[in-house]
Every structure is written in structure tokens, then in C-alpha cells.
């Protein structure tokens, strides 16, 4: 019973936080266009164009300088829960077409390496054969030394691509071999030692 109360309280706090985010205006940088086309919000900027279906509960007010997101009935739980999320989504789209996103991965291990040829990332990570990873449209990769940089304007796609590449050879906790995010800290474990001489 207490667990259910705590869970409901946590959800309530999250919803209130997201609705506060939802109320914040989103600045439109110079050289960026935001408009509604056929039920989609379309964002165009120096780096490209992104579109997303407008949530059924969301209302958008677009001016030359900012976007305001609201919902018809903020007191309704279902509408309130998507308010902040949709606002964050639009904000990420605007950042994406202006600045872009990137994730960096580090390849560690003797003989482990990566190379890019067009839209294919080839990874040697201790298997009997190289692993070829096809990059999605809109995603680019570059390799410098043992660091793979994944770039694109779609935040979700950049993150998902990096996560899939990491899965090719997840970092192991003993010698740290594998593929990890550059800023990821791997909790190392001590290797098994011989018990010879112990009594």
C-alpha cells in the first residue's frame, strides 16, 4: 500500500515538473523556421529539417521569435503528462537543426578498431570477423584514433545509433575491453587470482 502511494506521489511530482517545463516559451533562433504542415510541426534550420506529428492534446502558438505549447485541459492527467514532453521534443528539434547532436564512443582492446566507409561503420572488436554497421539516413560517423563520433540533427536517432554500436561489444569490467561512451565510467572488478599458497 505504501509502495503504491509512493509511486503515485512520484508520478504526480513528475507530471507537475513536466507541466512547468511545458509553460516555458521556446526561443526560435535567427535563420530558423517553425510551422505546422498537415498535422506536423516542421522545423527548418541551417543543418537541416525535422518534422514530428503534433500530439492530439497539444496546442502550438508560433510567432517569429518563439513557440508556446499548451494543452486544452491542463487539469486532465493524460494531457498534462504529455505537455512538457512535447515541449521538450520541439526544443530538441530546434537545437538539432541549429547545433546538431553528437555522441562519442571509445573502442578499447588490443586489435580493436573502427573505420568508416560512406554510410557503413566497420568495427573490429575481438570477433572472428569485422562487424559492419549501416548508419541510418541523417546520421554520420567519424573515427579519430580509438574514438567514434556519431553526429546528426535528430537527438533520439543519434542516441539510439550510439547505443546500438555500443552493443556490438559492451565493455567488460575486468580489463575494460569493449566499446563505451567516452564519458562512461566502468566499474572495474579485480580478476581472479590464484589461491596457491593459501591455507
pTM passes above 0.85: no
Per-residue pLDDT tens over the stretch 35-54 = 999 999 999 999 999 999 99
Q: The cell 522545423 sits on which residue?
A: 43
109 neighbors 177 (Cβ within 8 angstroms): yes
Question: CA 199, CA 30: separation in Å to the nearest integer?
Answer: 74
**Domain spanning 101-181: CATH superfamily:** Ribosomal protein L6 (3.90.930.12)
**Domain spanning 2-98: CATH superfamily:** Ribosomal protein L6 (3.90.930.12)
Q: How many residues does the chain have?
A: 199
Per-residue pLDDT tens over the stretch 144-153 = 999 999 999 9
Residue 5 has pLDDT above 80, yes or no: no
For the chain, domain boundaries: 2-98, 101-181
Amino acid at each position: 500500500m505504501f509502495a503504491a502511494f509512493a509511486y503515485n506521489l512520484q508520478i504526480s511530482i513528475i507530471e507537475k515538473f513536466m507541466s512547468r517545463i511545458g509553460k516555458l516559451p521556446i526561443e526560435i533562433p535567427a535563420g530558423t523556421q517553425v510551422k505546422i504542415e498537415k498535422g506536423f510541426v516542421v522545423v527548418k534550420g541551417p543543418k537541416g529539417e525535422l518534422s514530428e506529428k503534433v500530439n492530439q492534446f497539444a496546442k502550438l502558438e508560433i510567432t517569429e521569435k518563439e513557440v508556446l505549447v499548451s494543452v486544452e485541459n491542463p487539469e486532465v492527467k493524460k494531457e498534462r503528462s504529455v505537455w512538457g514532453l512535447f515541449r521538450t521534443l520541439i526544443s530538441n528539434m530546434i537545437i538539432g537543426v541549429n547545433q546538431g547532436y553528437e555522441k562519442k564512443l571509445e573502442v578499447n582492446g588490443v586489435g580493436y578498431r573502427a573505420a568508416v566507409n560512406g554510410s557503413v561503420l566497420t568495427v573490429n572488436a575481438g570477433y572472428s570477423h569485422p562487424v559492419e554497421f549501416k548508419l541510418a539516413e541523417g546520421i554520420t560517423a567519424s573515427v579519430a584514433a580509438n574514438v567514434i563520433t556519431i553526429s546528426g540533427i535528430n537527438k533520439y536517432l543519434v542516441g539510439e545509433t550510439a547505443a546500438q554500436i555500443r552493443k556490438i561489444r559492451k565493455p567488460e569490467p575486468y580489463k575494460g575491453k569493449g566499446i563505451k561512451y567516452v564519458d562512461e565510467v566502468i566499474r572495474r572488478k579485480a580478476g581472479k587470482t590464484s589461491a596457491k599458497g593459501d591455507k
